[in-house]
């Protein structure tokens, strides 16, 4: 296991400390939160942890079933206690860029249906200003090039379809456009609103006012950053 993978594993496992018996959990998608899902399965089988989960992608569903996490639908849950997910970037205001794994729409639906959200990440993901990581935007396949052109009018860098000539298809049957804004997204909520106003845009990989804590792994250890204005302080 290389250093980056070790840090991901440490963060993913440490985030499980927020879990309490009887919780209804949102299970995120990505290479870091994968370790969270595996650890939840271990605690269920070895420690008798009693939780149920709502997966944010088919890949997470398959992993959760493999490690023995009981699953329910979001509708059946009646709302979640906690969602644990990854992020491609986060800033000092706990705003996020997500969607590197292509599950941003389901991830946002689940996150907005939860009482709190904890993000797992390694220290490469912490930035002053969002945008170095290309912003994912999920779009309808219908006339997607027209949607791309309209997005390009507000993005100074390139806007490219993920997968190029063989487009990546999300679990929702849509495409992902990766938008190179560069580290310039200082007002993510305004940009989110602007992009969502474009016909053909399904969802934008900006998560603003949702993240309550970040479990951050670095070579110096695991640090938990709490959002002072987040729901964990209520």
**pLDDT tens-place string over residues 166-177:** 999 999 999 999
Angle of helix 58-67 versus helix 33-47 axis, rounded to 10: 30
Residue with tokens 């990581």: 133
CATH 3.40.50.1360 assigned to domain 3-125+208-219? The reply is yes
Residue-level pLDDT at 218: 87
pLDDT at residue 84 is higher than 70 = yes
Q: Which residues are designated catalytic?
A: 107
Residue-level pLDDT at 219: 85
Question: Which pLDDT band, with edges at 50, 70 and 90, does 221 fall under?
Answer: confident
What number is the average pLDDT over the span 14-25?
Answer: 96
CATH homologous superfamily of 135-203: ACT domain (3.30.70.260)
What number is the average pLDDT over the span 55-60?
Answer: 95
Q: To which H or E segment does residue 221 belong?
A: strand 221-226
Spatial contact of 207 and 152, defined as CB atoms under 8 Å apart: no
Enumerate the domain spans of the chain.
3-125+208-219, 135-203
Structure tokens at 203: 């969802």
Average pLDDT value for the chain: 95
**pLDDT tens-place string over residues 110-165:** 999 999 999 999 889 999 999 999 999 999 999 999 999 999 999 999 999 999 99
One fold for 3-125+208-219 and 135-203:
no
Q: List Cβ neighbours of 57 (8 Å cut-off, separation of 6 or more).
A: 29, 101, 102, 103, 106, 107, 171
Per-residue CA distances from 75 to 63, 65, 83 (Å): 21, 19, 15
Spatial contact of 195 and 152, defined as CB atoms under 8 Å apart: no
């Amino acid at each position: 296991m290389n250093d980056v993978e070790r840090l991901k594993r440490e963060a993913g496992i440490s985030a499980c400390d927020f879990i309490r018996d009887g919780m209804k959990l949102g299970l995120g998608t990505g290479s870091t939160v994968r370790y969270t899902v595996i650890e939840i399965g271990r605690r269920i089988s070895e420690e008798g942890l009693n939780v149920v989960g709502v997966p944010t992608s088919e890949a997470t569903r398959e992993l959760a079933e493999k490690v023995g996490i009981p699953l329910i639908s979001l509708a059946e849950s009646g709302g979640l206690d906690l969602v644990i997910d990854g992020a491609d970037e986060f800033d000092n205001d706990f705003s996020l860029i997500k969607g590197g794994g292509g599950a941003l729409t389901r991830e946002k639906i689940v996150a907005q249906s939860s009482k709190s959200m904890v993000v797992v990440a390694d220290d490469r993901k912490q930035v002053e200003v969002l945008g170095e990581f290309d912003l994912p935007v999920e779009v309808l396949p219908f006339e997607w090039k027209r949607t791309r052109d309209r997005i390009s009018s507000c993005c100074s860098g390139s806007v490219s379809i993920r997968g190029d000539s063989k487009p990546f298809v999300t679990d929702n049957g849509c495409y992902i456009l990766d938008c190179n804004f560069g580290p310039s997204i200082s007002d993510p909520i305004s940009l989110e609103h602007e992009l969502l106003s474009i016909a053909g845009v399904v969802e934008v990989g900006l998560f603003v006012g949702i993240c309550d804590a970040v479990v951050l792994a670095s070579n110096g250890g695991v640090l938990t950053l709490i959002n002072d204005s987040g729901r964990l302080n209520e």
